[in-house]
């Protein structure tokens, strides 16, 4: 009997277990999923929790429910990977041998990287919304907040779901409008990037939306420290931004397990081949989702597209066939813009988001890079799709793994 | 786009925003010219950073401000002092390497 281990039961790990359980011969392969936490969170929901759009119940379920019956599930912390001996050591000393290892340990916030961020004011007037705890604490704060300077801030790139902080700023604008207190709130968007987003076309569209909603932008801001006594963030060039309420996206880092095991880069992400998803140092170790160092967005949609290619590559690897170098960096994200509307963007390693229709070329019904109510409905429907189709590894109709260029308005096709 | 550096009269290919397209066309004189356009006078310390950036780019390692800060050559604070306002953007431009794309 051979062993395939999956580390992490988040979006990627759960999807891989569901894909592989039906593809690998049961008599030859045993599949085991390991994760230290019992709850599986619907992470896109953390954006809506602070504004009371989603309830806490809508964003969490018991993780074990989504692990297929044919796979083993161990709820334990992973202590160490010993890649040269093909072993994984769990907390308490239990040793698991593997023939194939899939690392899906994700990324998490590391507020301790910035001086003063997770100090005495953490969850008092400094919040994150990338964790369940942060989003919930922020919800309680927003329920009673009487206004002032709201600063929405990104610490450094890369971050999970790079559009989320923008969405947060847009939703905050409509949240305060609906509460009849928009005039009491000053919203500033502070980013280390040169503009609102990482891709030029989308940056232009998003910049207009920020302007339209009266949200100020501070760009090229590389934070050095939070002066929590005087409510200011200060960057390396000594620029200061004052806040009454700071909503920050702290530095994102891969799991510390990578550092302990000597497998990560300086942010604990695993060097991974961007087309095959095989790790660069070990041929029987594959990585997926936020845990990799791929130059793609850290997002559930990316993990979903990766899972289909990784499944095929695992099967090829087992048969001794060459791997398919096919992952193109495809990402597909809804961007909530407030007031019941949303944008949709679709892009990959080489093509930036442009206007057009999705998923059916020329038909839609969703429009790319344009605000619409249909896009918002799409985002809201996605929660159901996530729990019922996506993590169960079911194919989503009409949405292809590789990005299609049809129905899109490219001015020039890049290299 | 072709750019001619006036002092050296060297012609190099540059991108729309002025980054060298072929890092092998770079030399120290070009570095000095780009730097003076930005308003930076290059010292030995600048060149230590520039050489580090070129080495890492040749090795195809992605560059970030965090990475330079851990290089042992300069701290992030010092990098800002050497290349004010655009620590990675300006240092990359002067080093003759592509515009950093650490942002995804």
| Tens of each residue's pLDDT in chain A, 415 residues | 999 999 999 999 999 999 999 999 999 999 999 999 999 999 999 999 999 999 999 999 999 999 999 999 999 999 999 999 999 999 999 999 999 999 999 999 999 999 999 999 999 999 999 999 999 999 999 999 999 999 999 999 999 999 999 999 999 999 999 999 999 999 999 999 888 887 888 888 899 999 999 999 999 899 999 999 999 999 998 899 999 999 999 999 999 999 999 999 989 999 999 999 999 999 999 999 999 999 899 999 999 999 999 999 999 999 999 999 899 999 999 999 999 999 999 988 888 888 888 888 888 888 888 889 999 999 999 999 999 999 998 888 778 888 888 888 876 444 3
Task: Tell me the per-residue pLDDT of B66-98, one tens digit each, with 9 for 90 and over.
Answer: 889 989 999 999 999 999 878 888 999 999 998
Partners of B75 on chain A (C-beta within 8 Å) are none
List Cβ neighbours of B55 (8 Å cut-off, separation of 6 or more).
none
- CA A169 – CA A152 distance, rounded (Å): 6
Please, which residues 240-299 of chain A have a Cβ atom closer than 8 Å to chain B? Answer: 266-267, 293, 295-298
User: Does residue B53 belong to any structural domain of this protein?
Assistant: yes
Partners of B66 on chain A (C-beta within 8 Å) are 156, 266-267
Nearest CA-CA partner of B93 in B45, B46, B61, B44? B46
**Residue A353 forms contact with B (CB below 8 Å):** no
Q: Do B13 and B5 touch, CB atoms closer than 8 A?
A: no
CA dihedral A315, A321, A325, A329 (to 10 degrees): 10
User: Does residue B103 belong to any structural domain of this protein?
Assistant: no
Predicted confidence at residue A237, as pLDDT, reads 85
User: Does residue B68 belong to any structural domain of this protein?
Assistant: yes
User: Does residue B41 belong to any structural domain of this protein?
Assistant: yes
Q: Do A244 and A187 touch, CB atoms closer than 8 A?
A: no
Q: Do A339 and A209 touch, CB atoms closer than 8 A?
A: no
Q: Interior CA angle at A338 toward A217 and A383, to 5°? A: 120
What are the b/e assignments for A334-349, b being 16+ CB within 10 Å? bbbbbbebbbbbbbbb
User: Does residue B35 belong to any structural domain of this protein?
Assistant: yes
User: Does residue B65 belong to any structural domain of this protein?
Assistant: yes
Tell whether the model's pLDDT for residue B103 goes beyond 60.
Answer: no
Partners of A298 on chain B (C-beta within 8 Å) are 104
Predicted confidence at residue A198, as pLDDT, reads 76
Residue among A162, A237, A296 minimizing CB distance to B84: A237
- List strands edge to edge, sheet with A72-74: A72-74, A29-34, A2-7, A100-103, A285-287
Encoded tokens for A307: 């899972």
Predicted confidence at residue B102, as pLDDT, reads 52
Residue among B65, B67, B70 minimizing CB distance to A222: B65
Nearest CA-CA partner of B62 in B97, B100, B88, B91? B100
**Residue B1 forms contact with A (CB below 8 Å):** no
Active site residue B6: no
Closest Cα of chain B to A107: distance in Å? 15
**Residue A21 forms contact with B (CB below 8 Å):** no
User: Does residue B101 belong to any structural domain of this protein?
Assistant: no
For A293, nearest residue in chain B (alpha carbons): B62
Answer yes or no: CATH 3.20.20.110 is held by domain A110-252.
no
Q: Do B85 and A267 touch (CB under 8 A)?
A: no
- CA B64 – CA A251 distance, rounded (Å): 13
Q: From residue A180, give the alpha-carbon distance in Å to each of A171, A176, A184, A185, A342.
A: 14, 6, 9, 10, 22
Closest Cα of chain A to B7: distance in Å? 31
CATH architecture of the domain A2-106+255-319 equals 3-Layer(bba) Sandwich (3.50)
Partners of B56 on chain A (C-beta within 8 Å) are none
The 3-class secondary structure across chain B, one letter per residue, is CEEEECCCCEEEEECCCCCECCHHHCCHHHHHHHHHHHCCCCCHHHHHHHHHHHHHHHCCCCCCHHHHHCCCCCCHHHHHHHCCCCHHHHHHHHHCCCCCCCCC
For B85, nearest residue in chain A (alpha carbons): A237
Residue among A194, A236, A297 minimizing CB distance to B80: A236
Tell whether the model's pLDDT for residue B6 goes beyond 80.
Answer: no
User: Does residue B39 belong to any structural domain of this protein?
Assistant: yes
Could you give the number of structural domains in chain B? 1
Q: Which domain holds residue B60?
A: 2-95
Task: Tell me the per-residue pLDDT of B36-73, one tens digit each, with 9 for 90 and over.
Answer: 999 999 999 999 999 999 999 998 887 888 889 989 99
The angle that helices A300-319 and A11-21 make with each other, rounded to 10 degrees, is 40
For B81, nearest residue in chain A (alpha carbons): A237
Predicted confidence at residue B104, as pLDDT, reads 44
Encoded tokens for A277: 């998803």
For B64, nearest residue in chain A (alpha carbons): A157
Predicted confidence at residue A353, as pLDDT, reads 87
The complex scores an ipTM of 0.76
Residue range(s) occupied by CATH 3.50.50.60 in chain A: 2-106+255-319, 110-252
């Amino acid at each position: 009997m051979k062993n395939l281990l999956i580390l992490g039961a988040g979006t990627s790990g759960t999807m891989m277990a569901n894909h592989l359980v039906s593809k690998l011969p049961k008599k030859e392969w045993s599949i085991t999923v390991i994760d230290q936490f019992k709850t599986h969170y619907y992470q896109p929901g953390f954006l809506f929790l602070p504004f009371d759009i989603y309830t806490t119940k809508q964003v969490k379920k018991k993780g074990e429910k989504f692990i297929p019956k044919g796979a083993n599930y161990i709820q334990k912390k992973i202590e160490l990977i010993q890649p040269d001996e093909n072993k994984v050591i769990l907390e308490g000393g239990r040793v698991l041998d593997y023939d194939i290892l899939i690392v899906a340990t994700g990324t998490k916030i590391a507020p301790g990287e910035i001086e003063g961020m997770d100090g005495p004011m953490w969850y008092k007037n400094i919040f994150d919304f990338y964790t369940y705890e942060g989003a919930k604490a922020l919800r309680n704060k927003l329920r009673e907040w009487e206004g002032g300077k709201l600063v929405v801030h990104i610490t450094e790139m890369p971050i999970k779901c790079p559009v989320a902080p923008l969405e947060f700023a847009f939703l905050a604008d409509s949240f305060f409008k609906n509460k009849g207190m928009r005039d009491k709130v000053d919203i500033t968007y502070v980013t280390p990037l040169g503009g609102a987003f990482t891709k030029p076309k989308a940056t232009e569209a998003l910049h207009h939306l920020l302007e339209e909603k009266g949200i100020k932008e501070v760009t090229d801001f590389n934070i050095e420290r939070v002066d929590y006594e005087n409510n200011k963030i200060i960057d390396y060039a000594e620029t200061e931004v004052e806040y009454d309420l700071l909503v920050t996206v702290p530095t994102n880092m891969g799991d510390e397990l990578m550092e302990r095991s000597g497998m990560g880069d300086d942010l604990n992400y695993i060097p991974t081949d961007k087309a095959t998803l095989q790790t660069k140092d070990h041929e029987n170790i594959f990585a997926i989702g936020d845990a990799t160092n791929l130059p793609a967005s850290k997002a559930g949609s990316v993990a979903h597209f990766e899972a289909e290619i990784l499944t095929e590559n695992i099967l090829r690897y087992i048969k001794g066939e060459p791997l398919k170098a096919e992952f193109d960096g495809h990402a597909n994200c809804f961007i909530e813009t407030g007031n019941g509307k949303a944008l949709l963007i679709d892009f990959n390693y080489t093509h930036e988001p442009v206007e057009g229709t999705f998923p059916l070329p020329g038909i839609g019904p969703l429009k790319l890079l344009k605000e619409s109510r249909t896009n918002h409905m799409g985002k809201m429907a996605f929660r159901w799709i996530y729990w019922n189709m996506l993590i169960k590894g079911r194919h989503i109709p009409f949405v292809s793994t590789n990005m299609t260029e049809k129905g899109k308005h490219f001015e020039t096709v890049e290299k | 786009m072709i750019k001619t550096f006036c002092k050296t009269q060297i012609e190099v290919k540059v991108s729309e925003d002025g980054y060298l397209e072929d890092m092998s066309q770079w030399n120290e004189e070009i570095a000095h010219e780009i730097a003076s356009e930005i308003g930076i006078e290059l010292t030995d310390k600048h060149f230590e950073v520039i050489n580090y950036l070129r080495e890492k780019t040749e090795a195809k390692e992605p560059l970030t401000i965090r990475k330079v800060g851990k290089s042992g050559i300069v701290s992030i604070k010092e990098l800002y002092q050497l290349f004010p306002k655009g620590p990675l953007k300006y240092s990359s431009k002067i080093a003759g390497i592509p515009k950093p794309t650490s942002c995804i």
